Chains A and B, each alone.
Chain A
């Protein structure tokens, strides 16, 4: 799976949580909040994307991210590394 495909999954889940958002227009350098998602929406988007990608990242890791690109990068890295979380 490519990074673009991971982004497409995340964008689709975001668009289904935020009224009137076209997934094709989503800019990964922006955050979900910029698109009007509240904290409950964000949990739903991230959980939906993780479920579809079959990866699990603790929310404590996700809280450090600032934009969609960071989220996509993290999900992509974990997916390519057999789903394991890197230990510090």
Chain B
């Protein structure tokens, strides 16, 4: 990557000065060409279902890699019972829902999933969405209006932020996970209708929302909170009810949002809340009513996942055990894992963005599949690999991954003086 190219990032081409919106900015096109080698790490093509080991398509054939990129934290994507349920639904209900849930898209399977999710979350009502992103966007836009103030954790996922832009509310960010900063921002917007937006588990950092501290502040201001549990639902909490369950905060969280794409390994999203609020969102979250309902096979698979997790609780336990092992082993190599306390583990490179891509290629050549995460998704001096473990990574596989990191990542970082002294 040339010096000029490495100075620019996706943060620079949002506003275009080309004559037509159908012509992307010329400097963007040139920058994409100049950075093609680096960014060829993105949009890799997999030849088999996401698992601890995968085959990636390469220019010359296929490559075996240890996959540490998957959102399928509980390893359910190839579960025979889940697949059987999806196949049965294909036979019984066909390929698509053929209607919006409000008009005609709900099946008996759909209704059964609503009931199961309501039981699992502990909220009286649930609304299903055909996309995790779309559901979050719709909820944010459906709840907040012009004149309202959305008080948003600075690292909250873009789906909520985009929804808030659609709704026209003012967005006031507070410093990530800081109860003091939340208090200041809430005070600064005293008088307005306010709602707090946080993620349950931050997808690029792997830390949990500090719900006890944040909710104490929220209550002192009489302001409610929405928690997006996209990455935490099913994995956190004794019964899989997310960080809301983990911290025992159910009664204090107005909306619990979750996705069916991550640990569920299916697709879609849901909001859980009071019956009246869900009934309001039914008609004001436009990504619910103005789009086709989830395909029956996906609904059936998500439903089967809930059943499977009633008995296969070992998956949750194994996930956390693997996470602790992988994270502490990385730390003992002197690697900065940021604020992670979970199965999402950043491997921080820092501000040397060219090094991030160089190492990304080397790690992949050695058979380790991790995702480079660059500015502006994370802060400029926090470029990193996002690694995630799953319940199905064996100790031997984790050790192989760690060995690749020790052979490839550690010496390159040490040479640049970017690694802490080795702990131990």
Q: Using a CB–CB distance below 8 Å, which chain A residues touch chain B?
A: 19, 38-40, 43-44, 47-48, 51, 56, 58-61, 63, 85, 87
Let me know if A39 and B8 touch, CB within 8 A. Answer: no
Closest residue of B by beta carbon distance from A50: B15
- Residues of chain B within 8 A (CB-CB) of A38 are 171-173
Q: From B12, B27, B161, name the one whose CB has the most chain A CB atoms within 10 angstroms.
A: B12
Let me know if B15 and A87 touch, CB within 8 A. Answer: no
| Shortest Cβ gap from A7 to chain B (Å) | 20
- Residues of chain B within 8 A (CB-CB) of A60 are 7-9, 11, 375, 380
Q: Which residues of chain B in 1-58 are interfacial with respect to chain A, using CB atoms and an 8 Å cutoff?
A: 3-4, 7-9, 11-12, 14-15, 17, 27
- B308 at interface (Cβ–Cβ under 8 A)? no
Let me know if A58 and B154 touch, CB within 8 A. Answer: no
Q: Per a CB cutoff under 8 Å, which of B7, B17, B171 touches A40?
A: B171
- Residues of chain A within 8 A (CB-CB) of B170 are 19
- Docked Cα-Cα span, A80 to B171, in Å, equals 36
- B376 at interface (Cβ–Cβ under 8 A)? yes
Main secondary structure of the interface of B (DSSP, over half): mixed
Q: From A48, A51, A60, A85, name the one whose CB has the most chain B CB atoms within 10 angstroms.
A: A60
Let me know if B15 and A51 touch, CB within 8 A. Answer: yes
Contact A63 to B380, CB < 8 A, known contacts A47-B14, A47-B15? yes
Let me know if A43 and B172 touch, CB within 8 A. Answer: no
Let me know if B17 and A61 touch, CB within 8 A. Answer: no
- Residues of chain A within 8 A (CB-CB) of B154 are 39
Let me know if A87 and B3 touch, CB within 8 A. Answer: yes
With an 8 Å Cβ cutoff, the count of chain B residues facing the other chain is: 21
**Could you list 8 examples of A-B contacts with CB < 8 Å?**
A19-B170, A39-B173, A40-B161, A58-B8, A59-B9, A59-B11, A61-B7, A85-B7
| Shortest Cβ gap from A44 to chain B (Å) | 8
- Residues of chain A within 8 A (CB-CB) of B11 are 43, 59-60
| Shortest Cβ gap from B9 to chain A (Å) | 6
Contact A48 to B15, CB < 8 A, known contacts A39-B173, A59-B376, A60-B380? yes
Interface string of B396-411 (1 = CB under 8 A from A): 0000000000000000
Closest residue of B by beta carbon distance from A63: B380
- Residues of chain B within 8 A (CB-CB) of A40 are 161, 165, 171
Q: Per a CB cutoff under 8 Å, which of A44, A47, A58, A87 touches B9?
A: A58
- Residues of chain A within 8 A (CB-CB) of B12 are 56, 58-59
> Knowing that A40-B161, A47-B14, A60-B11 are A-B contacts, what are 12 other residue pairs whose CB atoms are under 8 Å apart, sorted by A's residue number?
A38-B172, A39-B154, A39-B173, A40-B165, A43-B11, A43-B14, A48-B15, A51-B15, A58-B7, A59-B11, A59-B12, A60-B9
- Docked Cα-Cα span, A54 to B8, in Å, equals 17
- Docked Cα-Cα span, A51 to B173, in Å, equals 26
- Residues of chain A within 8 A (CB-CB) of B172 are 38
Closest residue of B by beta carbon distance from A54: B17
Pick the 6 closest A-B CB pairs, nearest first.
Answer: A59-B11, A47-B15, A58-B7, A58-B8, A63-B380, A38-B173
Let me know if B27 and A56 touch, CB within 8 A. Answer: yes
Interface string of B148-173 (1 = CB under 8 A from A): 00000010000001000100001111
Closest residue of B by beta carbon distance from A44: B15
- Residues of chain B within 8 A (CB-CB) of A56 are 12, 27
- Residues of chain B within 8 A (CB-CB) of A51 are 15, 17
- Docked Cα-Cα span, A47 to B14, in Å, equals 8
Closest residue of A by beta carbon distance from B189: A36
